[in-house]
Amino acid sequence: MTYIQNTRAFFLIVAVAILTLLLSSSPSNAQTPAELRAQIEERNAQIAAIEKEIEQYQQELTVVSNERQTLQTAVREIDLSRNKIAASIRAAQARIETIQLEAVEIEQQIEAHEQSIDRGSSALAEAIRRLDEAESYTLLESLLNADSVSNLWDDIDSVQQFQFVMNERLRNLAITKKELENAREVSENKQVALVEQNSELISQKNALDVNRREKNGLLSDTKDREANYQTILSEKQAAKDAFEAELRAIESQLTYTLDPNRLPPAGEGILRWPLDSIYITQRFGNTAFAQTAAYSGKGHNGIDFRAGIGTPVRASLSGVVVEVNHGAVQNCQYGKWVLIRHANGLSTLYAHLSQINVSSGQQVETGDVIGNSGNTGYATGPHLHFTVYASEAVSLKQYTCKSGSAVLIPVAAYSGYLNPLDYL
């Protein structure tokens, strides 16, 4: 190695020391990584505990739903539904807090690496500057400095090797920075999703009010007497049977020739489930129950899901809201309902809702919360009625309720009703 190279190497030794010191330092933060991680783990533990609570409420709701319909069980089901929704709200809020903490954690990591890259780049620039200074030394100056630096370079082959090592290190830091930026983007996306979920839960908070009014109305109507409750159930069942008969009479006058080519082929996942938790209480078509007087042997035109009052109901596919009934006459036909037309030739109906979050003509996306389940209309208990139509077959017809009020209802020829399970 020449004296000039030795002199250049001396300056590089200084640069290496500066670079190592700078890269090993870290910025001070309001919260240490350990503190953030502890808070995140605490939130995760809270979420796990709340999810167990929600599961317990669901198990109790399942038991209550299978019991004989009495005033006591009806009140208990409303209370359990309210408790479940309240727990779901707490869980979602804890998830949002967790994502926010994770975002802070990632930001701190990104900041630390960005500072390391900046300091490393400065150190490398300083090393290059000193190399230029070394190359300007005269041979005499190099000879005078040789004895003081000659023993320092046993492990350095060349200045080019040093530059390669430093550039490689900076490239690795840049890669790490990119990975952390990607992680930040993922975290931000999660946070956006959870904020959207929080807005859905605001709707559930409103559903809690509906739930309370439902309970108060039930107690008021029955005057807290079982006999009155059973009378109300009997009247609802009779009205439901009459509605089914009238609906069949209307449908029998309609004609529709089903063209399979104008519909999507049957297949799992074409439509998403309208509820997050699925329990089917009544299937489509000529089931054993439909063969009874309940449907006059004509078959059930949709499927029914168990759903406590206030349960979020989601759009099964993106589309346009054709019509809604906000329940001007709540104790009539389908009660509060939403009809959505989809681009693939299908339309879906969501009936017996407790409240509606969309309006006619509105564009909705798959999974959007369009309302909350209930027991409005001719329903003898809380559930979601879900119908799938061939869009060309369904139309809106006027129906006169028992009270004399006229409302619109969606109807189709028998051939226009499709089995939802062929598409879910």
Give pLDDT, residue 65.
Answer: 80
For residue 136, is it within any domain? yes
- 290 and 164 share one domain: no
- 244 and 174 share one domain: no
Give pLDDT, residue 45.
Answer: 93
> Which amino acid, residue 140?
L
Give pLDDT, residue 423.
Answer: 95
- 150 and 230 share one domain: no
For residue 213, is it within any domain? no
- Per-residue pLDDT 10s for the chain (424 aa) are 444 444 444 444 444 444 444 444 444 446 788 888 899 999 999 999 999 999 898 888 888 888 888 888 888 888 888 888 888 888 888 888 888 888 888 888 777 777 776 776 676 677 667 666 655 555 445 545 555 445 434 444 555 666 676 677 777 777 877 877 787 787 778 778 777 767 767 777 777 777 777 788 888 888 888 888 888 878 777 777 777 777 777 777 776 777 788 889 989 899 999 998 898 988 998 665 555 544 444 578 899 999 888 888 999 999 999 999 876 555 678 889 999 999 999 999 999 998 899 999 999 999 999 998 988 888 878 899 999 999 999 999 888 877 777 788 898 888 889 999 999 9
Give pLDDT, residue 7.
Answer: 46
Give pLDDT, residue 4.
Answer: 44
- 306 and 395 share one domain: yes
Count of domains observed in the chain: 2
- 267 and 385 share one domain: yes
For residue 218, is it within any domain? no
For residue 201, is it within any domain? yes
Q: Which CATH number belongs to the domain containing residue 406 in this structure?
A: 2.70.70.10
For residue 305, is it within any domain? yes
- 91 and 230 share one domain: no
- 195 and 231 share one domain: no
- 188 and 278 share one domain: no
For residue 220, is it within any domain? no
Q: How far is CA 395 from CA 97, 254, 323, 359, in A?
A: 46, 10, 10, 18
In angstroms, the CA 240 to CA 379 distance is 7
Domain stop point among 158, 179, 206: 206
- 263 and 198 share one domain: no
For residue 214, is it within any domain? no
- 152 and 179 share one domain: yes
Give pLDDT, residue 155.
Answer: 42
In angstroms, the CA 322 to CA 308 distance is 26
In angstroms, the CA 117 to CA 284 distance is 63
Domain that holds residue 389: 225-422
For residue 216, is it within any domain? no
Domain stop point among 143, 175, 206: 206
Instruction: Compute the CA torsion angle 336, 390, 274, 360 (nearest 10 deg).
Output: -40
- 35 and 123 share one domain: yes
- 237 and 364 share one domain: yes
